Amino acid sequence: MEKREELYAGKAKSVYRTDDPDRFVMVFRDDTSAFDGEKKEQLNRKGMVNNKFNAFIMNKLEQAGVPTHFEGLLSDTDSLVKKLDMIPVECVVRNVSAGSLCRRLGVEEGQDLNPPTYELFLKNDALHDPMVNESLAVTFGWAKEDELARMKELTYKVNSVLKTLFEEAGMLLVDYKLEFGRSNDTIVLGDEFSPDGCRIWDMETRKKMDKDRFRQGLGEVIETYEEVGRRLGINFD
């Protein structure tokens, strides 16, 4: 597979075309940012850690029947993925109250949410990813009703798989975001699943083990990402 010109460069990943029009190379970089890019830093090994973490999770989800764009690792930082027509709506599930939910509603951090909440956000950095709903998504043509229903179904399926996976490793999957795309009229999970896009706490101590360590200046960001991975059985060597 030949990696060709860069198609897109995000905050922490780049996407490259290949000699196959239906395949891209997704490159995980060491770049880290928070607060819409106001806080930026290079963290050694981050690209490698997130690439291998994502590969592990995507394989687990595929085994559970969740279709993903992931096709395989190419190197420590590169993965081969299917080309998707991405839907500009993020799906968020929250199992425990944290982050923007607490700020918006004035609720205390750390409350178990039963049932888990489900929210949609428009993927738009300039607008700071505003919260939206299914009606807006359909009206503005971001997605169709049946697509949104399938995205919700898959998002909850991901929750049932991963919540158990993390609990068995002594961790709480607090919340996470997912992005989906279309592949031959099929809704497929795209983007990534890593500690950058979810919240993970130690089950007993409530130690934060995700990107909040960077946002809140807690330190040992990548070391903690690696700890999460090792508990799940990921080999970063």
pLDDT at 191 > cutoff 80: yes
Q: Is residue 228 part of a domain?
A: no
Same domain, 59 and 161: no
Residue 154 and residue 166 in one domain: yes
Shared domain for 44 and 110, answered yes or no, is: no
Res 35: pLDDT: 82
The whole-number pLDDT of residue 1 equals 76
152/119 Cα distance (integer angstroms): 9
What pLDDT is stored for residue 194 in this prediction? 97
Residue 33, domain CATH: 3.30.200.20
Percent of the chain with pLDDT strictly greater than 70: 100
Residues 117 and 71 in one domain: no
Are 38 and 95 members of one domain?
A: no
Q: Is the pLDDT of residue 37 over 80?
A: no
Domain boundary among 61, 82, 103: 82
At 84, the pLDDT band (50, 70, 90 cuts) reads very high
Structural domain contains residue 231: no
Q: DSSP state, 103?
A: H
Cα 102 to Cα 175: distance, rounded to the nearest angstrom = 12
First to last CA, the chain: 24
For residue 133, the enclosing domain spans: 85-219
- What distance in Å separates the CA atoms of residue 200 and residue 206, rounded to the nearest whole number? 9
Same domain for 99 and 74: no
> Rounded to whole angstroms, how far apart are CA atoms 170 and 205?
10
CA atoms 210, 86, 83, 3: torsion sign: negative
Give the pLDDT score at 39. 86
Q: Are strands 23-28 and 78-82 parallel, antiparallel or unpaired?
A: antiparallel
Confidence of residue 225 (pLDDT cuts 50, 70, 90): very high
The reply to whether 8 falls in a domain is yes
pLDDT over 90 at 180, yes or no: yes
Integer-rounded Cα radius of gyration of the chain: 17
Which pLDDT belongs to residue 218? 96
Q: What is the pLDDT of residues 144-174, one digit of tens each?
A: 999 999 999 999 999 999 999 999 999 999 9
The arithmetic mean of pLDDT across residues 91-115, rounded, is 97
Whether residues 73 and 130 share a domain: the answer is no
Q: Are residues 59 and 108 in the same domain?
A: no
- Give mean pLDDT, residues 40-63: 97
pLDDT beyond 80 at 36: no
* CATH code: domain of residue 154: 3.30.470.20
The percent of residues in the chain predicted with pLDDT above 90, rounded, is 95
Q: What is the mean pLDDT of residues 17-40?
A: 92
